[in-house]
Amino acid sequence: MTDLETEPNPVATVEIIPGGPVHGSIRPPGSKSLTNRALLCAMFARGQSTLDGALHSEDTEVMIEALRKVGASVVAFNQGRTLTVNGVAGSHASPTDGTLELFIANSGTTIRFLTAALSAAGGRYRLHGVPRMHERPIGDLTNAIQPVLKGTIEAISLGGCPPVEIASEGWREGVIRVRGNVSSQYLSGLMMAAPISGQTTRIEVDGELVSKPYVEMTAKVMESFGASVECQESGQHNTAYTIAAGHYAATRYEIEPDASAASYFWGAAAITGGSVRVEGLSRNAMQGDVRFCDVLAQMGCEVDYQTEGITVTGRGLRGVDVDMNFISDTVQTFAVVALFAQGPSRVRGVAHNRFKETDRIGDLARELRRLGARINEHDDGMTIVPPQDFANFSGASLATYHDHRMAMSLSLAGLRMPGVKIEDPACTVKTYPNYFFDLEQLIGRSHHWRSE
């Protein structure tokens, strides 16, 4: 070996060991979406709030650390599952002699929610993150804020991407317009920022609204903290939200288990012909991703909705054509389940998935092909043609692109296919640090680990 040659860097992997049908019950950790929304509302409330069932993960820690830098007191108990938040309600850190630097890592909810909230609260801030964060567009959000902003806001990377620089004296009363087909988190961030501004704010959505259940969730969280949210709909693509002038009030808030995380365990039942009950969720859950079970039912699974749990029982799977715009965070789970169906499956309505932690259409397609599937990419999704013969599959090492959902969803293939190795399994720390441990407990056998 010459001085210029180097050995390839080993990659940490976990290999999922195939077995029979998966049977059992599990309670996933708290919802990331609810935790970060509740944290923001509690931060700008008057008094002390308590959040029960909170998620302890990288994404929520990023939010908590940012809120602490801005002036909130956040104390964790019960291994991070209980949080007390002393709200600032107008007394946040608003530097006049410099800019407050906030590191956001790759947390999309954190940067989008805080960009809107801090522009409404006032002050000078610079929000930045890891290199991938600086490739994720946020210009639609900063452009939407401009008409009501008393100050300046700019996404300074090419293509309207972070870092975001804010110099604000708050919002004036007015109308905000935002495109609805890029990310529902833009609209959610604007909605949650409105009570912080102290102004009555009307937000008009241009075009189709993606992931609408997440916006409905945002409104419910806001109302739990005392805000008034009114939705007006006229026609298929004409939606507006009016948030009355006021402020958030401290409260005790219960956070549901994460429905996006639950999809992996329901998927395990579907793929293996087993039966898995996820505790703590129901058909009436705030999170729209429980509707993933409806998709599994279309594929042939039995779904039993109870008051405090949802059980999926796997049956012979068939391919389906489904619009997953409303549950786009479960597309990767669905894609892996579709590998084991009779006939092709088509996913529609998720063009915005290309702008997540990774390109969740193109990169997902690449890894599914390693598993023997034939994939046709479309502008708004993909068609999945299952492998014709699993008997000749000899294993594959699957890249995760540092995307937690790629790691968790692709791991399910290993429940039926030998030699499936997931690279960089630690990336699940973003939303579910104990995922692989919980999967081991559910299936009753150990994974094979290879460290770096």
Query: Which residue numbers are catalytic?
Result: 329
Q: Position 32: which residue type?
A: K
Among candidate residues 208, 215, 147, 222, the one with its CA nearest the CA of residue 180: 208
Angstrom distance (rounded) from CA 310 to CA 303: 7
Residue 234 phi, psi dihedral angles, 5° rounding = -140, 100
In Å, how far are 265, 270, 415 from 17, measured between CA atoms? 16, 17, 6
Residue 85 is inside which H or E element, if any? strand 82-86
Give the tokens for residue 379: 């502008």
Give the tokens for residue 345: 């499956």
Q: In what order do the strands lie in the sheet with 309-313?
A: 23-26, 275-279, 309-313, 302-306
Q: Tell me the pairing of strands 309-313 and 448-450.
A: unpaired
**What sign for the dihedral angle of Cα 38, 43, 45, 51?**
positive
Q: In what order do the strands lie in the sheet with 238-243?
A: 174-179, 201-206, 238-243, 229-233
Give the tokens for residue 135: 């490739």
Angstrom distance (rounded) from CA 264 to CA 332: 9
Among candidate residues 185, 188, 203, the one with its CA nearest the CA of residue 137: 185
